[in-house]
């Protein structure tokens, strides 16, 4: 049951976006997220939306994968939108009942907010769907590198992230097994009040902790056996290289930014 | 034959607390020749896994020495060189794989050794081909089967191009198919790639495939010979809680009941031959 | 009377799960009160999936399962009762130990059943005795036990629920020969004394031959064979085709028979083999 987490998973495909340098992808994702926030009218947000859809198509990943991600947080989008309906009191009054008043402005605002959230999710999904976790950590390590000049250990940080990513699926699988094993002994995890529910977590948490510590020890041994001695003198199989595609992508994002600014000002 | 691993008068104990120490190995001697395939057989707690960690300096002896190609593991200067030359493969493949993509994991060892990128690429590709996992190089390790994962872990060690590979119960967590896959790779490493192989195990059928079997009990060597000679000592093996291959045991039971056989058997074929001969002899007598 | 009965039982894992697991298709089996059945098959053949239906951990996607004649999923609210009726010991059960003492860990199941304190106490002591855990270990932390002891403590945790049907998923995986024999002996003895129905999922054709009476062979999500040990093991060629090898002695005897020697090849353990050969060889030899 814990295996159904699709968000944050890599989908292999041979596309323009997949082949981009992860550092550029990461920076551009940030840029697009910022754009979605600075676009403050429908025209400029629409431009961001068009661009996002174009990128989605470029990834060659079936669109239903993106829909699936949206579906999981549909409730969240709905709540944010609904809150805005009541919050905004511009435009003409459409409906009123007691203290509840809905204005056209509210509806528009709700749609605007919903579109913005959907875009944010799609943009980040593109990043995680088209980039392996390893390249992502490599990108972060590379982008953080300047910090090592001021004494921050960026290599260890990146190594920690890699190991975390490597072990998340293993631990999910393990949690699943432990839960089944305790259920087989009659553990009831669904019913009961809050205290009972918290208590029912202990038979799962403790074995998980114990096994994680054991795994950590074994992994440390295995890493030492493979001559790991920190980041010093370490080379990499995969070296991130920016290419022509990254230049093209950067230019398109700059054009997009100009478009948003113009639409924000003139419409 | 040139010795590769030399263990000389080694003692080692685990400390539970300041005073309490559990002795694991005492005054232990063992020499492993270059290019040989040695199985170390023993039940859990016989000290065999500790031995593996002493071979590459992951643990250091309380007294005595471990020499790898003449270099002392206790000397800090030698440690990277020794680990590069004595690769270790552990029981649980999940806990040896560091990276999220197969080929990146295989590259981990050579990356630590600081090879240039082209050399990394060559080593990774060769190692993956050696374990028949080249087609899976872009896969995520957690989606592989147990046997495949263990082969990736072995490739990670091969990529360091060590002289010797020590396997610490590499098949204990695998199903029969996975065990077979891993055993095939181990045999290939010794026979085709001329690696020195030390296989620590409690499966007698795996030990029987080595050139030499060392049986450990209570931190001591109680038998050290060819598989045929070692498994012939059925009583001794049983007394320390180990199995013998079924064919060996069958002939042993018949011998005990007074039927004479002139040779010890290890494999199905040898047993079949011995029994057929017995049956035919009997027919002649009549 | 059948304790467990399935009708066209099917289970498919949702397609987007990243982990490859064995689905099951059209399973129609009946398990009788007091049966001792070995369940054999490859990883991914569906055997683990099948046994998780017996105690209601998995809900079939199609088909029916009856325990004690009652349709299990007719009253989903009462599924908890089924967990106590059919005790399932998972693979590597020692990883489920969590409580402060061995005693309280074994008591976890009985406590969930809502039994009175003194009854729980009695059951804990009984269960520990069955698996051969000395009483002095009961007050210890489960994490201080040895590997084999942990495994037995976990087994006791299920036995303390006194299930009508005991299902064990590879209870000997990863154990050395002593640990393996202890577990198998304890289970056989318990079954002989209590008459409990026991299902033993295993990779080892040898182990299954040694202790069980019937064998259920799973292959490719379906039941490939379900019969007595004798009848299943005599289909050696078919078994080999799905990657399962009959014990070495059986193979040797089949070859002897083929060569025209007067042996009965329905032999599955070394003891059976020796017993059959002794009179043959002795009589003719003299």
Task: Record the tokens describing residue C153, joined without a space.
Answer: 């403590």
pLDDT at A8: 54
Q: What domain range is C42 assigned to?
A: 1-74+164-233
User: Is residue C217 included in any domain, yes or no?
Assistant: yes
User: Is residue C199 included in any domain, yes or no?
Assistant: yes
Cα-Cα-Cα-Cα dihedral sign, residues A178, A180, A183, A187: positive
pLDDT at A5: 45
pLDDT tens for A72-103 read 888 888 888 888 888 877 778 888 887 778 88
pLDDT at C19: 47
pLDDT at B44: 84
- Tell whether C21 is within 8 A of chain B (Cβ): no
pLDDT at B285: 60
User: Is residue C151 included in any domain, yes or no?
Assistant: no
Task: Record the tokens describing residue A12, joined without a space.
Answer: 């292999």
Domains of chain B, start order:
3-227 (3.40.50.300), 245-286 (no CATH)
CA atoms within 13 A on the CB side of B105: 35
- Tell whether A177 is within 8 A of chain C (Cβ): yes
Number of domains in chain C: 2
- Does one domain contain both C284 and C175? no
pLDDT at C286: 45
Chains in contact with A, counting 3 or more C-beta pairs less than 8 Å apart as contact: B, C
Instruction: Mention every residue, 6+ apart, whose C-beta is less than 8 A from residue A87.
Output: A106, A109
Domain map (residue ranges) of chain A: 1-131+239-267, 153-236
Quote the CA–CA distance of C156 and C150 in Å, as a whole number. Answer: 10
pLDDT at B283: 67
CB spacing of C243 vs B43 below 8 angstroms: no
Mutate which of A8, A227, A232, A233 to test chain B, going by most B C-beta atoms within 10 A? A227
CB spacing of B157 vs A226 below 8 angstroms: yes
- Does one domain contain both C228 and C278? no
- Does one domain contain both C220 and C260? no
Quote the CA–CA distance of A53 and A36 in Å, as a whole number. Answer: 13
Q: Which of A4-18, A150-164, A208-222 has the highest mean pLDDT?
A: A208-222
Determine how many CB atoms are found less than 10 A away from the CB of residue C59: 13
ipTM: 0.91
SS3 per residue for A9-77: CCCCCCCHHHHCCHHHHHHHHHHHHHHHHHCCCHHHHHHHHHHHHHHHHHCCCCHHHHHHHHHHCHHHH
Task: Record the tokens describing residue B261, joined without a space.
Answer: 């056989």
Quote the CA–CA distance of C53 and C169 in Å, as a whole number. Answer: 13
Mutate which of B20, B202, B248 to test chain C, going by most C C-beta atoms within 10 A? B202
Name the residue among A134, A170, A215 with its Cβ closest to that of B101: A134
Give yes or no for residue A7 having a pLDDT over 70: no
- Does one domain contain both C61 and C168? yes
Instruction: Mention every residue, 6+ apart, whose C-beta is less than 8 A from residue A54.
Output: none
Nearest to C90 by CA among C128, C51, C60: C51
Give yes or no for residue A135 having a pLDDT over 60: yes
Q: What is the mean pLDDT of residues A131-156?
A: 84
User: Is residue C108 included in any domain, yes or no?
Assistant: no
Mean pLDDT by 10 residues, chain C (286 residues): 93 62 90 96 90 94 93 89 94 93 96 95 96 94 92 96 96 91 94 95 92 94 95 93 91 93 91 92 61
- Does one domain contain both C66 and C178? yes
What angle do helix axes A104-130 and A22-38 make, rounded to 10 degrees?
A: 180
- Does one domain contain both C174 and C206? yes
- Does one domain contain both C189 and C222? yes
CB spacing of B250 vs C174 below 8 angstroms: no
Give yes or no for residue A6 having a pLDDT over 50: no
Q: What is the mean pLDDT of residues A101-110?
A: 85
- Tell whether C83 is within 8 A of chain A (Cβ): yes
Greatest CA separation found in chain A?
Answer: 72
- Tell whether C91 is within 8 A of chain B (Cβ): no
Name the residue among A180, A202, A206 with its Cβ closest to that of C90: A180
With contacts defined as CB-CB under 8 Å, which chain B residues touch C209?
none
- The ranges of chain B with pLDDT < 70 are 283-286
- Tell whether A241 is within 8 A of chain B (Cβ): no
With contacts defined as CB-CB under 8 Å, which chain B residues touch C259?
276
Give yes or no for residue A133 having a pLDDT over 80: no
pLDDT at B72: 95
Instruction: Mention every residue, 6+ apart, whose C-beta is less than 8 A from residue A124.
Output: A29, A33
pLDDT higher at A160 or C38: C38
Q: What is the mean pLDDT of residues A150-163?
A: 86
pTM of the model: 0.87
- Does one domain contain both C227 and C180? yes
B220-225/B212-217 β-pairing: antiparallel
Name the residue among B173, B254, B268 with its Cβ closest to that of C281: B254
Q: For chain C, where are the E strands, in sequence order?
A: 2-11, 24-27, 30-32, 36-40, 62-67, 70-71, 86-89, 165-169, 197-202, 214-219, 222-228
């Amino acid at each position: 049951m814990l295996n159904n987490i699709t968000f944050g998973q890599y989908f292999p495909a041979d596309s323009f976006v997949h082949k981009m340098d992860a550092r550029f992808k990461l920076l551009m994702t940030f840029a697009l997220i910022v754009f979605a926030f600075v676009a403050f009218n429908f025209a400029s947000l629409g431009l961001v939306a068009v661009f996002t859809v174009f990128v989605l198509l470029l990834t060659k990943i079936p669109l239903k994968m993106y829909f699936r991600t949206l579906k999981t947080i549909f409730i969240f989008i709905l709540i944010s939108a609904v809150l805005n309906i009541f919050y905004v009191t511009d435009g003409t009054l459409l409906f009123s009942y007691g203290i509840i008043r809905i204005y056209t402005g509210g509806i528009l605002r709700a749609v605007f907010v919903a579109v913005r959230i959907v875009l944010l999710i799609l943009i980040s999904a593109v990043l995680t769907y088209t980039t392996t976790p390893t390249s992502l950590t490599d990108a972060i390590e590379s982008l953080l590198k300047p910090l090592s000049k001021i004494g921050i250990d960026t290599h260890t940080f990146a190594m920690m992230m890699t190991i975390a990513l490597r072990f998340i699926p293993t631990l999910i699988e393990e949690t699943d097994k432990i839960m089944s094993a305790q259920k087989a002994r009659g553990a009831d995890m669904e019913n009961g009040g809050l205290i009972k529910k918290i208590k029912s977590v202990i038979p799962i948490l403790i074995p998980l902790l114990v096994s994680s510590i054991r795994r950590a020890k074994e992994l440390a041994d295995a890493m030492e056996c493979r001559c790991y001695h920190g980041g010093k003198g370490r080379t990499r199989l995969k070296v991130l290289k920016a290419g022509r595609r990254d230049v093209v992508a950067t230019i398109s994002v700059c054009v997009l930014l100009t478009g948003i600014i113009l639409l924000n000002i003139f419409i | 034959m040139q010795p590769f691993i030399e263990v000389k008068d080694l003692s080692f104990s685990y400390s539970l607390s300041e005073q309490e120490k559990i002795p694991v190995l005492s005054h232990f001697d063992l020499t492993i020749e270059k290019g040989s395939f040695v199985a170390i057989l023993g039940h859990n707690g016989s000290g065999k896994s500790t031995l593996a960690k002493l071979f590459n300096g992951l643990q250091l002896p309380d007294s005595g020495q471990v020499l790898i190609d003449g270099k002392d593991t206790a000397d800090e200067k030698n440690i990277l060189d020794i680990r590069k030359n004595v690769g270790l493969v552990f029981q649980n493949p999940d806990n040896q794989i560091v990276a999220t993509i197969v080929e990146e994991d295989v590259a981990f060892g050579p990356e630590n050794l600081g090879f240039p990128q082209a050399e990394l690429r060559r080593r990774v590709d060769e190692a993956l081909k050696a374990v028949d996992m080249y087609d899976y190089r872009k896969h995520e390790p957690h989606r592989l089967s147990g046997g495949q994962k263990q082969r990736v872990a072995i490739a990670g060690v091969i990529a360091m191009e060590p002289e010797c590979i020590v396997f610490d119960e590499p098949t204990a967590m695998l199903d029969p198919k996975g065990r077979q896959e891993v055993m095939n790779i181990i045999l290939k490493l010794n026979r085709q790639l001329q690696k020195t192989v030390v296989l620590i195990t409690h499966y007698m059928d795996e030990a029987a495939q080595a050139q030499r079997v060392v049986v450990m009990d209570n931190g001591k060597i109680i038998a050290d010979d060819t598989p045929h000679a070692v498994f012939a000592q059925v009583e001794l093996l049983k007394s320390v809680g180990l199995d013998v291959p079924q064919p060996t045991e069958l002939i042993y039971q018949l011998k005990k009941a007074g039927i004479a056989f002139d040779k010890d058997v290890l494999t199905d074929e040898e047993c079949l031959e011995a029994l057929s001969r017995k049956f035919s002899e009997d027919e002649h007598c009549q | 009377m059948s304790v467990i009965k399935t009708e066209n039982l099917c289970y498919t894992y949702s397609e987007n799960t990243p982990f490859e697991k064995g689905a099951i298709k059209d399973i129609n089996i009946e398990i009788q009160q007091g049966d001792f059945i070995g369940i054999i098959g490859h990883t991914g053949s569906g055997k683990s999936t099948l046994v998780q239906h017996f105690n209601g951990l998995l809900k079939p996607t199609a088909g029916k399962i009856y325990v004690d004649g009652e349709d299990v999923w007719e009253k989903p609210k009462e599924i908890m009762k089924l967990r106590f009726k059919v005790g399932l010991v998972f693979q590597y059960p020692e990883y489920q130990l969590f409580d402060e003492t061995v005693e309280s860990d074994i008591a976890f199941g009985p406590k969930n059943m809502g039994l009175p304190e003194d009854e729980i106490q009695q059951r804990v002591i009984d269960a520990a005795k069955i698996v051969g855990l000395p009483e002095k270990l009961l007050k210890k932390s489960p994490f201080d036990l040895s590997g084999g002891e942990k495994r037995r403590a976990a087994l006791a945790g299920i036995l303390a629920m006194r299930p009508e049907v005991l299902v064990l998923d590879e209870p000997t995986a990863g154990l050395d020969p002593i640990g393996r024999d202890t577990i198998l002996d304890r289970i056989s003895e318990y079954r002989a004394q209590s008459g409990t129905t026991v299902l033993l999922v295993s990779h080892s054709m040898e182990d299954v031959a040694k202790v069980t009476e019937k064998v259920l062979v799973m292959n490719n999500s379906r039941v490939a064979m379900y019969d007595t040990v004798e009848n299943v093991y005599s289909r050696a060629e078919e078994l080999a085709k799905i990657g399962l090898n009959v014990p070495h002695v059986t193979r040797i005897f089949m070859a002897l028979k083929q060569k025209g020697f007067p042996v009965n090849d329905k032999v599955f353990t070394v003891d059976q083999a020796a017993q059959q050969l002794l009179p043959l060889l002795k009589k003719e030899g003299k």
